[in-house]
Amino acid sequence: KNEVEQSPQNLTAQEGEFITINCSYSVGISALHWLQQHPGGGIVSLFMLSSGKKKHGRLIATINIQEKHSSLHITASHPRDSAVYICAAKDSNYQLIWGAGTKLIIKP
């Protein structure tokens, strides 16, 4: 069992739909990152959170420390949101433990 698990692995939706990507982790963490990677592109850090909720534009990230679960939401999704979204847990040794990623495709 992976220490960081994401679901779904693949998600295809229509433009405008509300998107939710889930992340569960089994390790003790000091923070959890949500990252975005476009095809052939670099990795962009979207959020780092250790409690509660953060919002940036149409993106919302939440974390429940007790349940060891985090979600990334995208409101009013757009084709340019198509990318791989990665959840990564930062452990006490400063390493990032990566989820397998969720490949999101938003169709116009």
Partner 1 sequence: DTGVSQNPRHKITKRGQNVTFRCDPISEHNRLYWYRQTLGQGPEFLTYFQNEAQLEKSRLLSDRFSAERPKGSFSTLEIQRTEQGDSAMYLCASSLAGFGYTFGSGTRLTVV
Please give the residue ranges that form the binding site for partner 1 (CB under 8 A).
Answer: 30-31, 33, 35, 41-45, 48, 86, 90, 93-96, 98-101
Shortest reach from residue 1's CB to partner 1, in Å: 16
Nearer to partner 1, 74 or 86 (CB): 86
The DSSP result for 21-83, as a single string, is EEEEE-S--SEEEEEEE-TTS-EEEEEEESSEEEEETTEEEEEETTTTEEEEEESS--GGG-E
Residue among 7 and 17 whose Cβ is closer to partner 1: 7
Instruction: Give me the half-sphere count of Cα atoms (radius 13 Å) on the Cβ side of residue 7.
Output: 4
Least distance between partner 1 and beta carbon 68 (Å): 19
Q: Which is nearer to partner 1, 34 or 77 (CB)?
A: 34
